[in-house]
Amino acid sequence: MSKKTALVTGGAGFVGSHIADYLKNEGWNVVVADNLSTGKESNISDDIDLELIDLTTGDINKLTKLIKPNSIFHTAAQVSVSKSTKLASFDAEQNIVVTIKILEALSTVGKGNESFLFISTGGAIYGNTKTIPANESLIPKPESPYAISKFSSENYIKYFRKNHKIKTSIVRPANIYGPRQDPNGEAGVIAIFINSMLNNKNINIFGDGENIRDYIYITDLVKGCILASELYLPYPINLGTEKGTSVLEIFNTLSKYCKYKLNPVFLDKRPGDIDKIILDINKAKNLLKWSPDIILEDGLKRTIDWFVKNN
């Protein structure tokens, strides 16, 4: 039996590279599509093929014909809420238009049995909901262009699923953290904090630090994504921990393990930031038979260890 082929968009980035590694270890042929604008070639294993392509301008139809993927794992995205509030059109191009182009490619050059997994957002899509933990039956109330673009993409995916019979899956992850996360961007507070602490730099906290997030470790996310990609469920699935942690709690825990002595610098709250979000994961537990394995403190230690070795 021939190996299955997976195309991982954004596979040189944080989430994509971990998905690519998992699939390769499971015996897949894996092709990464990335322009390396934010991803790193060093994140890609030697036995994984890299196709250098800008998904906003490149010929995705040609790439799909060339690779003939059995599955596409679409992780390429603009992931910063704050950047989306400054550059809404850029965010829409990266997150909505690219998603549509890939779906169009699958619908026109695919054989009809390919699957498509989309990584949406659980941390931003529900907005400042009073329902905590937030479950998938809530009507999303996105409060940033980033969240709007993810919700819009979800609706395009539903359209292509219904009208082009594509086997689609959508996951809504909590705030993802772990090894390889970019500490130099505007997203990923844990990576940003660890990198600054290890280099004894000042750390900015936007708002009072009491905003609550649900944090999921990268290996738990990957397992959930793989399971979701195999079931083709017609609705989004939350992937989180059902536990909330404030930014100040993250800061204090990381300070202890990084032996960091400086106080944080408090700045004005950023537009689009959510006050509190914790995800209900009952659907993932019941339908995917999935639950997270890594508790936050262990995940933070693992992430610190990786940054120490790779700083």
What are the catalytic residues?
A: 146
> What are the structure tokens assigned to 170, written together?
């959508």
> What are the structure tokens assigned to 67, written together?
């690779």
AA letter at 286: N
| Length, in residues, of the chain | 311
> What are the structure tokens assigned to 162, written together?
């219904």
Residue written as token pair 């014909």 = 65
- Cβ-based neighbours of 307, under 8 Å, separated by 6 or more: 179, 183, 191, 194, 195, 198
Smallest CA-to-CA distance from 213 within 169, 246, 250, 167 is with 246
Task: State the Rg of the chain over Cα.
Answer: 19
Cα–Cα distance, 47 to 43 (Å, whole number): 12
